[in-house]
Structure 1
């Protein structure tokens, strides 16, 4: 398991609170604009597509594919003991992209377009992050 991250590194505010609460409940939530129907990630107050303030929360399937990735060989702070690790941009089925880590995945099986599923991991007491792993 990765070294624990200080919770102080991650800011929770009124725009992102439903996202963090969802992770704690084992749900990967994103926003959807009720004006233009487009999915939105990262959490924010206004739709980046049509600038409406009519964003609501939806629960994703947690499935997607690897859009891009890199293997990290040098890191500092709380990540230094986890080397090497894989950071990927995941394109969710809902159409948004998010950056996360790939876990429990042999590096030789990682490729662009590979199907992945969210894996919720507790990194600190009462604090969960979404990581991804390859679908079998």
Structure 2
């Protein structure tokens, strides 16, 4: 399947249990509670910050991105997600509302291929 055809590349996708309606991110084929099959579900990408930290260290190749903020976000649909917070983070706080944005993650040094993914941004 071509990468452009994968729903999860440009949408914030999880799964929902057909039986008990529990929502998972990342998605999984079966519900961990009732063990029934799940189906793809597009998530809102909206949530609230439960906790956060400012990171001053980075893996090799990502040193130019420090410092950066990482937050644990509880999505409107229920799952908790860890992700980078981008944009103006000077007003970040626990309880602040956020939404997902599609941003550059990194560049492949050998091929120059740019990889994109979801990050969080503070609501106005």
Query: What is residue 110 of structure 2 aligned with on the other side?
Result: none
| 2-structure distance, mates of 1:33, 1:126 | 34
Give the TM-score of the pair, scaled to structure 1: 0.75
Gaps of 5+ in 2: 108-112
Question: How far apart are residue 23 of structure 1 and its match?
Answer: 4.3
| 2-structure distance, mates of 1:33, 1:127 | 30
Larger relative contact order (Cα-Cα within 8 Å, sequence gap ≥ 6):
1
Aligned counterpart in structure 1 of residue 13 of structure 2, from 20, 29, 38: 29
| 2-structure distance, mates of 1:132, 1:116 | 6
| 2-structure distance, mates of 1:29, 1:102 | 19
Gaps of 5+ in 1: 1-19
Structure with greater strand percent: 2
Question: How far apart are residue 126 of structure 1 and its match?
Answer: 6.6
Aligned pair count? 114
Aligned counterpart in structure 1 of residue 40 of structure 2, from 46, 54, 57: 57
Question: How far apart are residue 65 of structure 1 and its match?
Answer: 0.8
Q: Tell me the alpha carbon deviations over residues 4-28 of structure 1, each in whole angstroms, 9 at most, x when there is no partner.
A: xxxxxxxxxxxxxxxx933433x21
| 2-structure distance, mates of 1:101, 1:67 | 13
Displaced runs of 4 or more, over 4 A: none
Alpha carbons 1:24, 1:127 under 8 Å: kept: no
Give the TM-score of the pair, scaled to structure 2: 0.82
Structure with greater helix percent: 1
Aligned counterpart in structure 2 of residue 106 of structure 1, from 83, 89, 108: 89
Structure 1 vs Structure 2 CA RMSD = 1.9
| 2-structure distance, mates of 1:51, 1:119 | 32
